A and B are shown apart, each in its own frame.
Chain A
Amino acid sequence: MPKVKLPRKSTTIDMTAMCDVAFLLLTFFMLTTKFKTDDTVVVDTPSSISEIKLPDSDIMAITIEKKDTVDKVYFGIDGQFKRAALLKKIGERFGIPFSEDEVYRFSLISSWGVPLKDLKAYINMSEAQRTKYNQEEKVGIPIAALEEGKTLESELSFWILYGRLTNPGLRIAIKGDNQAKYTTIKRIMDTLQFRKVNKFNLVTDLEAKPRS
């Protein structure tokens, strides 16, 4: 019997198709990804079993950071142009003139925790100075009443009001630190209700659902 010669087959596979798939996926993910914007503050949020995702856009974020014994409140809305419009409105209401340059600089800040009297100075700070300011300053956006007698009309309430005027579709997200006082949160909720916001979201971490 003659020996059957098995033809030697090459072990290489054509990688072109696989490469195509890989790069197709890569392109898809690259285009759909939105990178996380730099957080002004990092807070440790409580966890819950809720699985509702926070939408990416149209968010008004109220962040509460625990600073030693006090709670510091930050405020932010998304969208550069919305922020610019917001600052103009706030400036008009409180009689603080902002130059075009200041409005532009402000529109690049995603969230801020400064009382109105320091806002101008804060806008004109450099990135590093702002970080330092955020770390050292204990006063955020004041939640106490502006005038005696008007219990809920605080600076925060005006940010909320004008924020919603610039973007009526805003959803409100409260992002609080674990150890923030309930009274602060209550005050913010009351302020929101004062501005006729009765529906809002609490940002939480995901926690495993218990087996019933």
Chain B
Amino acid sequence: MAELDTSQKGGHGKKGGKRSKKMSTRVDLTPMVDLGFLLVTFFMLTTTFSKPQTMEINMPVKDEAAPEEGMAVKSSKALTILMDKDNVLYYYKGIEDPILEKSEYYEKNQSENIRKILLSEHARVDDLMVLIKATEGATYKNVVDILDEMNIVGITRYALVEITDFDKDIITKQGEGKAG
């Protein structure tokens, strides 16, 4: 670059003697810096993107001595979410004589979805207990989505519960009519 060889100019004026030329020992480092930073960027990008995220789940400890003994949930504080096949979602409030209502996942319907319902229920009831039940047709994505909604809304009391025949009955009785 600019400092190629300055010693030549000075030496020319005095004498044409056979002095060995003083070569500059400086090397242009710009390309090396370029290379260095390129590699730094590469390593930086590869480190940060390779770590996957996880969701932690704590399941209740299963007691073999008393397998059926669980936490009793007050009917007024319970909200049950039912996940059916083909990304269909239902919910009902309370435990006895439920009125099944249809809802949708957030991705499908951004204005009227389960998040709205959860938010309003969360505000209305303290200690809301959400029971999450999935039928055989539900996919893994559905379950993760609902668990994620719990995190988003901030509901701390929820449980992944095995579906009962009672719930399946409600879906066949009330679900079809609603869906149509």
Contact = CB atoms under 8 A, between A and B. Distances in A.
Interface in A169-205: 173, 175-186, 189, 192-193, 198-205
Given A18-B29, A26-B40, A33-B43, A199 B58 contact: yes
A11 interface: yes
A183 B30 CA distance: 60
Interface in B22-70: 28-30, 32-33, 36-37, 39-40, 43-44, 46-47, 50-62
Contacts of B135: 182
Given A26-B43, A29-B47, A177 B140 contact: yes
Contacts of A11: 2
Contacts of B57: 199-202
A15 B32 contact: yes
Interface stretch (B95-103, B145-153, B165-173): B145-153
B56 A182 contact: no
A203 B36 contact: no
A208 B44 CA distance: 22
Contacts of A16: 29
Interface string A144-185: 000000000000000000000000000001011111111111
A32 B44 CA distance: 10
B128 interface: no
Interface stretch (A47-55, A73-81, A97-105): A47-55
B73 interface: no
Contact of B46 (A33, A173, A203): A33
B134 interface: yes
A19 B29 contact: yes
A50 B148 CA distance: 8
B151 A198 contact: no
Given A48-B147, A50-B151, A201-B57, 11 more contacts: A26-B36, A34-B50, A46-B140, A50-B54, A50-B56, A176-B144, A182-B134, A192-B59, A199-B57, A202-B56, A202-B147
Interface of A: 10-12, 14-16, 18-19, 22-23, 25-26, 29-30, 32-36, 45-54, 56, 64, 173, 175-186, 189, 192-193, 198-207, 209-210
Interface of B: 1-3, 28-30, 32-33, 36-37, 39-40, 43-44, 46-47, 50-62, 83, 115, 134-136, 138-145, 147-148, 151-152, 162
